[in-house]
Amino acid sequence: MEPDIVRKMSSPTPPKRFEGFNYTALKRFLFGEPFPTSKEHHERLDKIRALAVFASDPISSNAYATEAIMSILVLIGSAALSLTMPIALGIAALILLIVFSYTQTIMHYPGGGGAYIVARDNLGTLPSLLAGAALLTDYVLTVSVSVSAGVRAITSAFPAVHDYRVLLAVLAIGLITWANLRGIRESGTIFAFPTYAFVGGVALVIIIGLVRYFGLFGAAPLVSSAPPVAAGGQPVVSLAYTWLILRAFAAGCTALTGIEAISDGVQAFKKPEARNAAITMMVMGGMAMSLFIGITFLATHLHLVPRAEDSILSQMTRTVTGGGFLYYWVQAFTTLILILAANTGFQDFPRLGSFLARDGFLPRWIQNRGDRLVFNYGILLLAFVASVLVIIFRADEIKMLPLYALGVMISFTISQTSMAKLMSKVGQVPPGETVQTKATTIHYEAGWRWKQALSVIGAFTTGVVLLILIVTKFTHGAWIVILAVTLLIWGFRAIRGHYDRVAEALSTRNFSLDNVLDIADVVIIPMADVHRGTLRALKYACRLSNDVRAVSVITSEENKERFMRRWNRFPELTEHVKLVLIEYDFRDILEPLVAYIQHVNEVECPHQMTTIVVPEFVPSSIWAHFLHNQTANILRFRLRGYKDIVVIDVPYHL
Amino acid sequence: MEPDIVRKMSSPTPPKRFEGFNYTALKRFLFGEPFPTSKEHHERLDKIRALAVFASDPISSNAYATEAIMSILVLIGSAALSLTMPIALGIAALILLIVFSYTQTIMHYPGGGGAYIVARDNLGTLPSLLAGAALLTDYVLTVSVSVSAGVRAITSAFPAVHDYRVLLAVLAIGLITWANLRGIRESGTIFAFPTYAFVGGVALVIIIGLVRYFGLFGAAPLVSSAPPVAAGGQPVVSLAYTWLILRAFAAGCTALTGIEAISDGVQAFKKPEARNAAITMMVMGGMAMSLFIGITFLATHLHLVPRAEDSILSQMTRTVTGGGFLYYWVQAFTTLILILAANTGFQDFPRLGSFLARDGFLPRWIQNRGDRLVFNYGILLLAFVASVLVIIFRADEIKMLPLYALGVMISFTISQTSMAKLMSKVGQVPPGETVQTKATTIHYEAGWRWKQALSVIGAFTTGVVLLILIVTKFTHGAWIVILAVTLLIWGFRAIRGHYDRVAEALSTRNFSLDNVLDIADVVIIPMADVHRGTLRALKYACRLSNDVRAVSVITSEENKERFMRRWNRFPELTEHVKLVLIEYDFRDILEPLVAYIQHVNEVECPHQMTTIVVPEFVPSSIWAHFLHNQTANILRFRLRGYKDIVVIDVPYHL
């Protein structure tokens, strides 16, 4: 027969549910009307907006990266704070290297080249899973760290709310979650204003600061908030000293997070996508670097000292501007850009999760999209895990930072190793031809050797930094990340194994319908009592088979008499039915019932499907459920364990 | 056909469930092997044990009743504490009256004469519901108050644990709940020792106290813990003063609680039940009265003052004994008897609840008995409500006392009014004949007039006391009880109304099988994909009907192609099936599916039962459920709202 094809393109109408509470209406109110699948389109971004979208994460790290370095160095002594600047310069160099390396990735994976995809294309499954696990943990941390830092920007301005920071952070996550479930996606306009307002505000503060610091244009020189460090000679260069400097460097590496996001989202750019993305990436890198160095310069030269209740950026802004309008501007947009940075976690995590789910490494439902075409489950999962982190760490992003940046450094290393591998392939393509890999198309490039060298240098450098991060941060929380990543990889493989076994078990290849079990003639209908509902079910059962057995568990003589009296009222139906009465001396009447069913299924009709007709009484209101035994539901649950039992629910509504 | 009767008397074997976790084994471990229904028997109690069982509740009130009076009087001033003794004497007289009145009830309702049953037999439904509601609230309070007072006895001895009293109280409730679920019932031996140990200990303290107080046998006179009250003349007798005295009297009425319990449990006595019960009741009344007056006498003459962290009984015992072995003995057995008193709540509440459930005023499952023949749900309900009360009142029984005793006084009044009514009937029975009421058998009694007079006096007195209780305690929490009782009565009637309507709707009287809907030929099988599981279900569907329609919701071209490719692999099955493909542009594929089913059910086959075959994939472990969409479950849930849709689950296990 030819299939009937029905086309249903109209918006779905809410189904009627139990009266009184319309779940669908509430859902529509909270999250809006569903979008049709076909309406999905990526709004293409021009460079200005794209910069705003992608820069919010890396640029927002300026709110805390300098502080992260300083809060380690201050452990040596406030004299050591002068080392902040050299360390910041080293990190800035690293940003430069990574930006250049990633432009390569963008040019070669215009369809999207996140570390997971690039590694799977070049290095195989395990490295790609490592990259995937590392990035997932990092995206969770992006949310927890950014939201906590955003809340700190508020509590720095209004110290009175400091005690409520955990609550505020969780509420902020809830708000971002809600917005993302509604489907506020990479809509550049929302991002553009706060990002540029933050960049502009901080840049202005830096310029004013520098002008005042150097007394340019006749400005009154800034008075340092602390007296210059007593010149007590250089501290002794010891092992412990080197260790703390390495730790400070590792802490500053948080400034590197978020740089890789563009490589995943090349398709969001206007044509020529790859070129525009590469240019945007370079501008973004330049911006992030300048702000980072500017803030670090002022913070160290103004002799600021990290304090729990007032961030370095806030101290610096207050010192430079004296606490007026510009101060509140910078604080407000610091909060906003940090929350937007958290929002990028809500973009990246569900997307990467859906890739992993598509490949069977995460539960398949992670890739299900909701009414608004977003990955609802990925969003909710991220919100849950990030909230748990925020609660555990009491919304203190400085405590969370040792966990951060580790994942992104793993992904940098893997991604650039993959690119080095890809370049070998590029060098082997005969000129004029193209070769198709799993995820992209390559052709011969004359400069493949130096591009490969760049990737190797990048991979090596980030690899070394990764080692430094692991070693220095290990006892401060990095072990959590390593444990999480290990468990995630183990989980990915276990899930994939399960899906493979299921697919194997369900496969229709080499499958013959003869393998499907026969259906036994016997139909069993449990009947606690004879009433309109069970009679209806009995009539249904009699339609199915000539061997219908009504089974009733009898717990008292009175119970039996009443049953038989009612049973005999309907001879035209019951005379075709074999009645089995089980006299039972315990209260759990389902036990002998299940035992009887099991006996019929396994002994009387082995290797056949046995049918059970369950009369089910459906009360009119959801509250009335509390007034009735849930026998039908419990029976269905108990029968789930039996392979060859088919359960038929015959409902009876009042 | 003659029914097959299977007798299954052996102990049930635990059914196999999902692997890994055996719920039944855990249940057996915690609560023991199930008892057969036929093994139920009430252990008959001799008077010594019966006294212990039933006296624990009324005698335990001695732990706090005197204190309850004093903590009101102290509000007037410590001089007013001397009024404690006259008030206690008034309450003792009330105990005497009630004890005598209840012996009447016991003699006339040897089958059990709780206020609910006696009122239903004589006054009608509404008064019986009032008595039932009042007693239910009081039994809850018995548990909360007794456990809290028991914990206070511990914290009086060990003040260090005072901060953990709420936790201790909830743990104690949990322990009693567990014991009751295991089925520790009126086993006299458990009760006998702590009850007599408490009575003996307190009696000894009172005797030593009196001996020392009066300096008898040459004993050194007791030094009062406080100096004698400054003789400042009598306080002015004002309205406020009278009010506080009434309040103190009302507070002391907690000593009356628990007296009625014997009337419910007459059947627990050895023959002649009624006579033994009546004698026991009188002894119990005498005991409770003596202790109450003894404690009150010493407490007032030693000038003790109520303190939150040290109970009056504890202060008195310490003063009299100097805090040695006898002190810890009394404290220990105070705790134990209070916990035993709480245990009587666990006897009375589920029993009364089951009476109400049997008559359809509470959910029917309240009368379901568990493996150990106890009313599991009643026990759990009581434990839950009592714990909530303990948490709300921070385990402070003095704060809860204004709520207490109100319910029992309502039931006294109703019970005695019922008895007065019954006596009118008794007077009208022709001598030598018997008349059967709903709950007992009566015959003419010569002294019915004076017995009726006693009941009227009892009803009047307890009625007046009830008014005093309501008026004086109203703003201190009695309003909560009145509100709760009102809501309970409303709930009883609503539940009964529901059951009446259900019984009406299910009734087989005047019901013809022709009224049962026909069954439509069409069988619909939703198929997301073609695999072994859905093919098995399809084969099952084809067995049921010749008009099978496989419905698949198609969300993409790729999805459609794959479906058709697999579909066409099994022409021998699929050529008999009509395939309906619904192209749908949203993600919630159940919506068009339900809409299609609804259309077939309402338009194509109106007034017929439509059958839906749902292929259900059952993963091997419970964890694997998280890896699969719950589509079958959600579909079943959504279809519940439709009256004439029969759902067939065809499981496919891996």
CB A310 within 8 A of CB A157: no
Q: Tell me how far apart the alpha carbons of residues A241 and A79 are, in angstroms, rounded to a whole number.
A: 12
Please give the helix or strand (H or E) that residue B89 lies within, else none.
Answer: helix B84-108
B49-78 pLDDT, tens digit each:
888 878 888 888 888 889 889 988 888 887
Q: What is the pLDDT of residue A226?
A: 54
Minimum mean pLDDT range among A116-120, A353-357, B108-112, B406-410: B108-112
A579:B1 CB<8 A: yes
Chain A residues with CB inside 8 Å of B373's CB?
A: 587
pLDDT at B261: 83
Q: How many CB atoms lie within 10 A of CB B259?
A: 25
Which A residues, 607 through 646, put their C-beta within 8 Å of a C-beta on chain B? Answer: 609, 617-619, 624, 626-629, 636, 638, 640-641, 643, 645-646
Tell me which residues of chain A, numbers 350 to 379, contact chain B at a CB-CB cutoff of 8 Å: 363-365, 368-371, 373
Q: Is the backbone peptide bond immediately before A272 cis, with ω within 30 degrees of 0?
A: yes
List Cβ<8 Å contacts ≥24 apart for B207-214: B208/B320, B208/B321, B208/B326, B209/B298, B209/B302, B209/B316, B209/B319, B209/B320, B210/B294, B210/B297, B210/B298, B212/B320, B213/B298, B213/B301, B213/B302
By percentage, how much of chain A surpasses pLDDT 90?
39
Most confident stretch, A626-630, B238-242, B313-317: B313-317
pLDDT bucket at A41, cuts 50 / 70 / 90? low
Asked whether A627 and B498 are in contact (CB, 8 A), the reply is yes
Backbone dihedral region for residue B402 (phi beyond 0: left; psi -120 to 50: alpha; all else: beta): alpha
Residue with tokens 């990955």: A375
Distance from C-alpha of A66 to C-alpha of A300, rounded to nearest angstrom: 9
Query: B237-284: per-residue pLDDT in tens?
Result: 677 888 888 888 888 888 888 888 888 878 778 888 889 999 999 999
Q: With CB atoms and an 8 Å threshold, state whether B581 touches A502.
A: no
Mean pLDDT of B155-159: 81
Query: Cβ contact (<8 Å) for A581 and B5?
Result: yes
Q: For A552-603, how does the pLDDT look when each residue is reduced to its tens digit (9 = 90+)? A: 999 889 999 999 999 999 999 999 899 999 999 888 888 899 999 999 999 9
Mean residue pLDDT of chain B comes to 86
Angular region, B363: left φ>0, alpha ψ -120 to 50, beta rest: beta
Q: Is the pLDDT of residue A2 over 80?
A: no
**pLDDT beyond 80 at A157:** no
In the three-class reduction of DSSP (H, G, I as helix; E, B as strand; rest coil), residue A523 is classed as strand
- Beta bridge partner(s), residue A442: A435
Tell me, yes or no, if B380 comes closer than 8 A to chain A by beta carbon: no
Return the higher-pLDDT residue of B268 and A614.
A614
DSSP letters for A332-344: HHHHHHHHHHHHH
A4 neighbourhood in chain B, CB within 8 Å: 578-581
Whether pLDDT at B17 is above 50: no
Q: Taking 50 as the threshold, does the pLDDT of residue B18 lie above it?
A: no
B418 pLDDT higher than 80: yes
Q: Residue A47: what pLDDT?
A: 85
Q: Does B527 touch chain A (CB under 8 A)?
A: no
CB contact under 8 A, B8 and A592: yes
CB of B76 closer than 8 Å to CB of B248: no
pLDDT tens for A305-322 read 888 778 888 889 988 888
- Contact between chains at A587 and B543 (C-beta distance less than 8 A): no
Res A20 pLDDT > 50:
no
Q: How far apart are CA B80 and CA B70, in angstroms?
A: 9
Q: Over 80: is that where the pLDDT of A507 sits?
A: yes
What integer is the mean pLDDT of A628-634? 85
Q: In the structure, what pLDDT confidence band is assigned to residue A8 with cuts at 50, 70 and 90? A: low
Nearest to B506 among A15, A506, A532 (CB): A532
Question: What integer pLDDT is reported at residue B187 of this predicted model?
Answer: 58
* pLDDT of B124 above 90: yes
Best residue in A627, A639, A642, A645 to probe B by mutation, most B CBs within 10 Å? A627
For residue B536, give the nearest of A369, A516, A587 by CB distance: A516
Task: Give DSSP secondary structure letters for A116-173.
Answer: HHHHHHHT-HHHHHHHHHHHHHHHHHHHHHHHHHHHHHHHHH-GGGGGGHHHHHHHHH
The residues in B 459-518 lying below 8 A from A, measured between CB atoms, are: 495, 498-499, 501-502, 505-508, 511, 513, 515-517
- Residue-wise pLDDT for A49-72, tens only, equals 888 878 888 888 888 889 889 988
Q: What band does B131 get if pLDDT is binned at 50, 70 and 90?
A: very high
Mind telling me how many Å the CA of A21 is from chain B's nearest CA? 13
Q: Name every chain B residue with its beta carbon within 8 A of the beta carbon of A502.
A: 619, 654
Q: Does A178 lie at the interface with B, CB-CB under 8 angstroms?
A: no
Residue of chain B nearest A618, judged by CA positions: B640
pLDDT of residue B1: 62
The answer to whether the Cβ–Cβ distance between B651 and A646 falls below 8 Å is yes
Residue A9 has pLDDT above 60, yes or no: no
Interface of A with B in 579-608 (CB under 8 A): 579-588, 591-592, 594-596
Position with higher pLDDT, B389 vs A509: B389
As a whole number of angstroms, the distance between CA B554 and CA B628 comes to 19
Identify which of A486-490, B63-67, B276-280, B613-617 has the greatest average pLDDT: A486-490
Query: What is the Cα–Cα distance from A650 to B647, expressed in whole angstroms?
Result: 7
- Quick one: pLDDT band at residue B188, thresholds 50, 70, 90? low
A231 vs A151, higher pLDDT: A151
**Interval B504-544: pLDDT, tens:** 988 888 888 888 888 888 999 999 999 999 999 999 999 99
3-class state of residue A582 by DSSP:
strand
Q: Is some CB atom of chain A closer than 8 A to the CB atom of B322?
A: no
* Contact: A591, B540; criterion CB under 8 Å: no
Give the residue from chain A lying closest to B620, CA to CA: A641
H or E stretch covering B538: helix B532-544
pLDDT of A640 over the 50 cut: yes
Can you give the pLDDT at residue A232?
A: 47
Residue range A363-392: average pLDDT? 91
Contacts of B515 in chain A (CB under 8 A): 532
Which pLDDT band, with edges at 50, 70 and 90, does A225 fall under?
low
Pairing of strands B547-554, B578-584: parallel
CB contact under 8 A, A365 and B651: no
Whether chain B has a CB inside 8 Å of the CB on A12: the answer is yes
Residue A19, pLDDT score: 44
Q: What's residue A239's pLDDT?
A: 79
Q: A11 to chain B: nearest residue by CA?
A: B586
Task: Tell me which residue in A516, A539, A592 faces B539 most closely, judged by beta carbons.
Answer: A516
Confidence of residue B228 (pLDDT cuts 50, 70, 90): very low
Q: What value does the mean pLDDT take over residues B179-199?
A: 77
Tell me the residues of chain A between 545 and 574 that have a Cβ less than 8 Å away from chain B.
555-556, 564, 566, 569-570, 572-574
Q: Residue A17's pLDDT is what? A: 46
Q: Which two tokens stand for residue A147?
A: 């939201």
pLDDT value of residue A230: 47
Tell me the three state secondary structure of residue B418.
helix
**A1 contacts B580? CB cut-off 8 A:** no
Residue B592: its chain A contacts at CB < 8 A? Answer: 6, 8, 12
Contact A38 B585 (CB under 8 A): yes
Q: H/E/C letters for each residue in B323-340?
A: CCHHHHHHHHHHHHHHHH
Task: State CA A491 to chain mean position distance.
Answer: 15
- Is A526 in CB contact (< 8 Å) with chain B? no
